Amino acid sequence: MNKTALITGASSGIGAELAKVFAGNKHNVILVARRLAKLEELKEELVKNEVSVETIKMDLAQPNAAKSLFDEVNKLGVSIDFLVNNAGFGGQGAFHERSWEQESQMMQLNMVTLAQLCHLILPQMINRGSGKLLNIASSAGLLPGGPYQSVYFATKAFVVSLTNGISKEIEGTGVSITALCPGPVETGFEKAANLEGTNLFAGKTFSPDKVALDGYNAMMSGKRQKTTALSFGNRIGLFFEPLTPATIGLSFIKKLQQRNE
């Protein structure tokens, strides 16, 4: 019997590419996003792999969305073997100038919904003695902070820390959890986060299909954390980050994310 993956933020980018990888490996998939038309379009492609594909339209940035999604999945009568928390968004601008609604929805989606889905589905996996979770974080979560994307960087640091903590708690249960930390990826994030006109994406960017495959392989092998889509300069920067005074690192990140006049 095919196993089933629940993938949030599956309408485009890394989420859609992960859905293709899972389906290509003969896993059934449940796709979740706000844009149902995009999900149905992807479904037409995935069913060619002779797997079951379910689509659920839901805005996971709303309070209690995780519980609503969990209930919808239970109605399908399937067990979740793989949970992929991919849904998330960012936003450029000074913290005090951005609307609180934007920031609170970002925290809800990037942190609260992700954490609650893990909390709801982990007990089922542990009771079965099998299951894998993949949380899409960011290389931003490995840095001291992100001026002009302060909340986004903080949410991704939360994802990394949460995943690391849980991974130690569930050792020996047959269940694993992985944090994927990619660098700049060609997903439309730059436009959605209003980062056009900054230097953050001025260098090399990577294709989402490669990132998705790296994430899938890391998840399947039970790795706790995986960085990917990093240029040589990015790798050097992350290597030396623990040795670099925070003020220097923050100043560099500020320049990258500050809008060019």
Q: Give me the active site residues, please.
A: 152
Question: What is the Cα–Cα distance from 171 to 175, expressed in whole angstroms?
Answer: 7
Q: Which residues pair with 8 in a beta bridge?
A: 32
What is the residue whose two structure tokens read 């037409």? Answer: 44
